Amino acid sequence: MVDKIKIENGCLVVTDNPIITYIEGDGVGQDIWKNAKLVFDAAVEKVFNGRKRVSWEEALAGKKSFDSMGSWLPEDTLTSIADNLVAIKGPLETPVGGGIRSLNVALRQELDLYACVRPVRYFNGIESPLKHPEQTDITIFRENTEDIYAGIEWEAGSDDVQKVIRFLQDEMGVSKIRFPETSSIGIKPISQEGSQRLIRSAIEYALENNLTKVTLVHKGNIQKFTEGGFRKWGYELAKAEYANELESGKLVINDIIADNFLQQILLNPDKFDVVALTNLNGDYASDALAAQVGGIGISPGANINYITGHAIFEATHGTAPDIAGQDKANPCSFLLSGCMMFDYIGWGEVADLIRSAIGKTFSQGCFTADLAKTTPYFTTSEFSKKLIENL
């Protein structure tokens, strides 16, 4: 029966024929989606032999949407994802100027997708700057709704910033603004609720995947109440809700200062299983970790609200205008995001099949142009065809 995915008592209910929203994306999104869909459908068919199948429902966003409907992000698209819970999307072009906010940010905010999840693992044969890139197998949980991304800022020289500075000096006794006449001011909100829902998701993920260590990454030595709060609330949550798991050793919670973390992922990446970070630290760490295993062309990602069940799985790269329409893009970031999606809906066998086929295809020396050390390289469609053979 074709049906919407639902959430009941905190668990997803997925029928044999679930509807999943897809947004093709702009630029290389169009090269990638048509091939990725073939891989997804072939893997589902291989695992379930016709018993299960995805019903893909297209929703428009980005340039494709603007060209056909005059809107960068139509209301119908939000409704489709809100109703179907699960979506997968290609990269979107955000128009520069004209007051249009980033479409990706808009989607995350509308659906309160508070956890940005990025598993970072190495595939044999991919070039990496590390001697032992295979030691990197870390899942990042980055808080997605707070921190400096709240966008609360006042520009130097404006009346507003002067008002804020006067308030800080006169009412709050702040005397440490070094150059009050020429300072811009930004606000960094970090809450107990926001931190704990993210850290709870990271712990649940670790337990479900038999991973022991959850590391809280923060800058609490300097920002005692915001970053320090994230750390403190993390430990409090673990103690209150996971006492048995902590006692049995099934779960270990520890923490590390963000700058040391960026050192340790290079020196001792095997120290980490799941890491939970505030928004800005998570931003830096995601790209650094992606680079360790071969770059954004193969890094998957998802933005998830584990409470409502809403989730958007997406490639982490952009529309790559320089290679768009040339059948040249690497589809792996998108495909691996699809694997995360299949894991999320409980079809882990499909995810495993695609992941091992990607590993096998790389080990046969088949790479798209971005990863090929020598020419000739595989086009997007040739690579995807090879992948299907390897399923």
Residue 314: CB minimum distance to ligand NAI, A? 6
Q: Long-range contacts made by residues 81-84, C-beta under 8 angstroms, separation at least 24? A: 81/21, 81/107, 81/111, 81/310, 81/312, 82/111, 82/310, 83/4, 84/4, 84/5, 84/19, 84/20, 84/21, 84/57
CA angle centred on 340, ends 130 and 253, rounded to 5°: 65
Q: Site for ligand NAI (CB under 6 A): which residue of 215, 330, 337, 390?
A: 330
Q: Is there binding between residue 323 and ligand NAI (CB under 6 A)?
A: yes
Q: Site for ligand NAI (CB under 6 A): which residue of 228, 318, 346, 359?
A: 318
Q: Burial letters for 277-293: b for 16+ Cβ neighbours within 10 Å, e otherwise?
A: bbbbbbbebbeebbebb
Q: Site for ligand NAI (CB under 6 A): which residue of 200, 218, 317, 355?
A: 317
Q: Burial letters for 164-193: b for 16+ Cβ neighbours within 10 Å, e otherwise?
A: bbeebeeeeeeeeeeebeebebeebebeee
Other C-beta atoms lying within 10 Å of the C-beta of residue 129: 10
Residue 192: CB minimum distance to ligand NAI, A? 29
The residue whose Cβ lies closest to ligand NAI is 318
Q: Which is nearer to ligand NAI, 281 or 299 (CB)?
A: 299
Catalytic (active site) residue 283? yes
Catalytic (active site) residue 149? yes
CB 373 within 8 A of CB 77: no
Positions in 57-96 near ligand NAI (CB under 6 A): 91-94
Near ligand NAI by CB under 6 A, which window of 216-224, 269-277, 313-321, 355-363?
Answer: 313-321
Q: Which of 112, 259, 287, 327 is catalytic?
A: 259
How many residues interact with ligand NAI (rule CB under 6 A)? 19
Catalytic (active site) residue 83? no
Which residues contribute to the site for ligand NAI (CB under 6 A)?
28, 91-94, 104, 297, 314, 317-323, 329-330, 333, 370
In the annotated binding site, the residues are 102, 104, 108, 118, 142, 283, 330, 373
